[in-house]
Protein backbone atom coordinates (compact mmCIF):
# COMPACT_ATOMS: atom_id res chain seq x y z
CA UNK A 1 0.00 0.00 0.00
CA UNK A 2 1.32 3.43 -0.93
CA UNK A 3 1.27 6.02 1.85
CA UNK A 4 1.79 9.73 1.52
CA UNK A 5 3.35 12.10 4.00
CA UNK A 6 0.99 14.33 5.94
CA UNK A 7 0.59 17.69 4.22
CA UNK A 8 1.87 20.81 6.04
CA UNK A 9 -1.65 22.31 6.46
CA UNK A 10 -2.97 19.06 7.93
CA UNK A 11 0.03 18.76 10.22
CA UNK A 12 -0.49 22.34 11.42
CA UNK A 13 -4.16 21.63 12.15
CA UNK A 14 -3.20 18.54 14.15
CA UNK A 15 -0.62 20.54 16.10
CA UNK A 16 -3.12 23.33 16.75
CA UNK A 17 -5.73 20.84 17.96
CA UNK A 18 -3.22 19.19 20.28
CA UNK A 19 -2.15 22.58 21.65
CA UNK A 20 -5.72 23.71 22.26
CA UNK A 21 -6.48 20.47 24.07
CA UNK A 22 -3.41 20.89 26.28
CA UNK A 23 -4.25 24.52 27.04
CA UNK A 24 -7.80 23.53 27.92
CA UNK A 25 -6.55 20.68 30.11
CA UNK A 26 -4.33 23.03 32.09
CA UNK A 27 -7.33 25.22 32.87
CA UNK A 28 -9.45 22.24 33.89
CA UNK A 29 -6.67 20.77 36.05
CA UNK A 30 -6.14 24.18 37.67
CA UNK A 31 -9.80 24.53 38.52
CA UNK A 32 -10.68 20.97 39.55
CA UNK A 33 -7.39 19.32 40.42
CA UNK A 34 -6.01 16.31 38.58
CA UNK A 35 -8.22 13.64 40.14
CA UNK A 36 -11.54 15.41 39.55
CA UNK A 37 -10.73 16.64 36.03
CA UNK A 38 -12.48 14.77 33.21
CA UNK A 39 -11.88 14.31 29.49
CA UNK A 40 -15.46 15.51 28.88
CA UNK A 41 -14.70 18.85 30.47
CA UNK A 42 -11.37 19.21 28.67
CA UNK A 43 -12.90 18.69 25.21
CA UNK A 44 -15.90 20.87 26.00
CA UNK A 45 -13.66 23.81 26.92
CA UNK A 46 -11.43 23.22 23.90
CA UNK A 47 -14.44 23.03 21.57
CA UNK A 48 -13.67 19.54 20.25
CA UNK A 49 -15.26 16.11 20.33
CA UNK A 50 -13.96 13.28 22.48
CA UNK A 51 -12.92 11.63 19.22
CA UNK A 52 -10.50 14.49 18.59
CA UNK A 53 -9.07 14.02 22.07
CA UNK A 54 -8.43 10.31 21.55
CA UNK A 55 -6.66 10.96 18.25
CA UNK A 56 -3.94 12.65 20.29
CA UNK A 57 -4.13 11.10 23.77
CA UNK A 58 -5.17 7.74 25.17
CA UNK A 59 -6.42 9.07 28.50
CA UNK A 60 -6.35 11.95 30.96
CA UNK A 61 -3.00 10.69 32.28
CA UNK A 62 -1.46 10.98 28.83
CA UNK A 63 -2.38 14.63 28.28
CA UNK A 64 -1.07 15.54 31.72
CA UNK A 65 2.13 13.63 31.02
CA UNK A 66 2.55 15.37 27.64
CA UNK A 67 2.22 18.74 29.39
CA UNK A 68 4.71 17.72 32.07
CA UNK A 69 7.25 16.41 29.54
CA UNK A 70 7.01 19.64 27.55
CA UNK A 71 7.62 21.71 30.66
CA UNK A 72 10.56 19.59 31.82
CA UNK A 73 12.14 19.69 28.35
CA UNK A 74 12.05 23.50 28.42
CA UNK A 75 13.51 23.55 31.92
CA UNK A 76 16.40 21.24 31.07
CA UNK A 77 17.23 23.25 27.95
CA UNK A 78 17.28 26.45 30.00
CA UNK A 79 19.48 24.86 32.68
CA UNK A 80 21.97 23.53 30.12
CA UNK A 81 22.34 27.00 28.65
CA UNK A 82 22.81 28.55 32.08
CA UNK A 83 25.40 26.11 33.45
CA UNK A 84 29.09 26.68 32.71
CA UNK A 85 31.44 23.81 33.54
CA UNK A 86 34.35 26.23 33.94
CA UNK A 87 32.88 28.28 36.80
CA UNK A 88 32.90 27.28 40.48
CA UNK A 89 30.43 24.62 41.56
CA UNK A 90 28.69 26.97 44.00
CA UNK A 91 27.97 29.43 41.20
CA UNK A 92 26.47 26.75 38.96
CA UNK A 93 24.38 25.39 41.82
CA UNK A 94 23.12 28.87 42.60
CA UNK A 95 22.22 29.45 38.94
CA UNK A 96 20.25 26.21 38.68
CA UNK A 97 18.55 26.65 42.05
CA UNK A 98 17.47 30.18 41.19
CA UNK A 99 16.02 28.95 37.89
CA UNK A 100 14.15 26.06 39.51
CA UNK A 101 12.80 28.13 42.39
CA UNK A 102 11.81 31.00 40.08
CA UNK A 103 9.77 28.62 37.92
CA UNK A 104 8.16 27.17 41.02
CA UNK A 105 7.26 30.61 42.34
CA UNK A 106 6.01 31.97 39.01
CA UNK A 107 3.77 28.97 38.39
CA UNK A 108 2.71 27.47 41.75
CA UNK A 109 -0.16 25.68 40.02
CA UNK A 110 2.26 23.23 38.39
CA UNK A 111 3.84 22.44 41.71
CA UNK A 112 0.49 21.57 43.27
CA UNK A 113 -0.61 19.55 40.23
CA UNK A 114 2.65 17.61 40.19
CA UNK A 115 2.23 16.66 43.85
CA UNK A 116 -1.28 15.40 43.11
CA UNK A 117 -0.07 13.48 40.05
CA UNK A 118 2.75 11.92 42.07
CA UNK A 119 0.20 10.73 44.64
CA UNK A 120 -1.81 9.21 41.79
CA UNK A 121 1.34 7.36 40.66
CA UNK A 122 1.32 5.32 43.87
CA UNK A 123 -1.91 3.72 42.63
CA UNK A 124 -1.08 3.40 38.93
CA UNK A 125 1.87 1.34 37.68
CA UNK A 126 1.97 3.06 34.27
CA UNK A 127 2.09 6.54 35.79
CA UNK A 128 4.66 5.36 38.32
CA UNK A 129 6.95 4.20 35.51
CA UNK A 130 6.47 7.49 33.67
CA UNK A 131 7.52 9.43 36.75
CA UNK A 132 10.46 7.08 37.28
CA UNK A 133 11.56 7.84 33.71
CA UNK A 134 11.27 11.55 34.42
CA UNK A 135 13.53 11.23 37.45
CA UNK A 136 16.01 9.23 35.39
CA UNK A 137 16.16 12.15 32.95
CA UNK A 138 16.76 14.58 35.80
CA UNK A 139 19.52 12.36 37.19
CA UNK A 140 21.11 12.06 33.75
CA UNK A 141 21.19 15.84 33.47
CA UNK A 142 22.73 16.20 36.93
CA UNK A 143 25.30 13.48 36.18
CA UNK A 144 26.22 15.20 32.92
CA UNK A 145 26.87 18.49 34.75
CA UNK A 146 28.78 16.78 37.57
CA UNK A 147 31.00 14.88 35.12
CA UNK A 148 31.75 18.09 33.24
CA UNK A 149 32.72 19.72 36.53
CA UNK A 150 34.88 16.74 37.38
CA UNK A 151 36.73 17.00 34.06
CA UNK A 152 37.32 20.69 34.76
CA UNK A 153 38.79 19.80 38.16
CA UNK A 154 35.92 21.43 40.04
CA UNK A 155 34.23 18.29 41.43
CA UNK A 156 35.87 15.63 43.59
CA UNK A 157 36.74 12.44 41.74
CA UNK A 158 36.18 10.17 44.74
CA UNK A 159 32.43 10.82 44.83
CA UNK A 160 29.76 8.64 43.22
CA UNK A 161 28.11 11.05 40.78
CA UNK A 162 24.98 8.90 40.43
CA UNK A 163 24.41 9.01 44.17
CA UNK A 164 25.17 12.74 44.28
CA UNK A 165 22.68 13.39 41.48
CA UNK A 166 19.94 11.65 43.46
CA UNK A 167 20.83 13.60 46.60
CA UNK A 168 20.77 16.93 44.73
CA UNK A 169 17.30 16.19 43.36
CA UNK A 170 16.09 15.19 46.83
CA UNK A 171 17.49 18.39 48.35
CA UNK A 172 15.83 20.58 45.73
CA UNK A 173 12.47 18.82 46.07
CA UNK A 174 12.61 18.90 49.86
CA UNK A 175 13.43 22.60 49.85
CA UNK A 176 10.54 23.38 47.50
CA UNK A 177 8.20 21.27 49.61
CA UNK A 178 9.06 23.33 52.69
CA UNK A 179 8.51 26.52 50.73
CA UNK A 180 5.06 25.33 49.62
CA UNK A 181 3.91 24.07 53.01
CA UNK A 182 5.52 26.69 55.26
CA UNK A 183 5.56 29.77 53.04
CA UNK A 184 5.05 32.11 55.99
CA UNK A 185 8.17 30.89 57.81
CA UNK A 186 10.48 29.69 55.02
CA UNK A 187 12.08 32.19 52.62
CA UNK A 188 13.07 30.29 49.48
CA UNK A 189 15.21 33.09 48.04
CA UNK A 190 17.29 33.47 51.18
CA UNK A 191 17.97 29.71 51.18
CA UNK A 192 19.61 29.64 47.75
CA UNK A 193 23.06 31.03 48.57
CA UNK A 194 23.70 29.08 51.80
CA UNK A 195 22.32 25.91 50.24
CA UNK A 196 24.63 26.35 47.23
CA UNK A 197 27.64 26.89 49.51
CA UNK A 198 26.73 23.86 51.62
CA UNK A 199 26.48 21.57 48.59
CA UNK A 200 29.60 23.03 46.97
CA UNK A 201 31.55 22.38 50.17
CA UNK A 202 30.72 18.70 49.77
CA UNK A 203 31.43 18.52 46.03
CA UNK A 204 34.53 20.65 45.53
CA UNK A 205 38.06 19.20 45.85
Whole-number pLDDT of residue 4: 52
> At the top level of CATH, which class does the domain 1-57 belong to?
mainly alpha
Whole-number pLDDT of residue 2: 44
3 pLDDT more than 70 = no
141 pLDDT more than 80 = yes
Number of H helices, E strands in the chain: 9, 0
> At the top level of CATH, which class does the domain 60-203 belong to?
mainly alpha
C-alpha 133: how far from its chain's center? 11
Among residues 117, 93, 114, which one has the least CA distance to residue 171?
93
pTM exceeds cut of 0.95: no
On the question of a common fold for 1-57 and 60-203, the answer reads: no
Domain extent listing, the chain:
1-57, 60-203
**In angstroms, rounded to a whole number, what is the distance separating the alpha carbons of residues 148 and 38?**
44
**In angstroms, rounded to a whole number, what is the distance separating the alpha carbons of residues 48 and 51?**
8
31 band by pLDDT with thresholds 50, 70 and 90: confident
Whole-number pLDDT of residue 158: 94
Q: Considering the chain, what is the average pLDDT of its residues?
A: 86
Other CB atoms closer than 10 Å to residue 186's CB: what's the count? 14
5 band by pLDDT with thresholds 50, 70 and 90: low
Please give the C-alpha separations between residue 177 and each of 34, 95, 185, 186, 188, in angstroms, as whole numbers: 19, 19, 13, 10, 10
Whole-number pLDDT of residue 164: 93
Amino acid sequence: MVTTAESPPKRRRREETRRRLMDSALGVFARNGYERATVDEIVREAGFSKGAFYVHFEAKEDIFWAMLEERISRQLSAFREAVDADVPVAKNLETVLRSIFALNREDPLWSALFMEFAAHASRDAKVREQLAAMYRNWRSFAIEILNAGREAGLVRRDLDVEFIASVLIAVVEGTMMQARLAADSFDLDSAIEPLSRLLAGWLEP
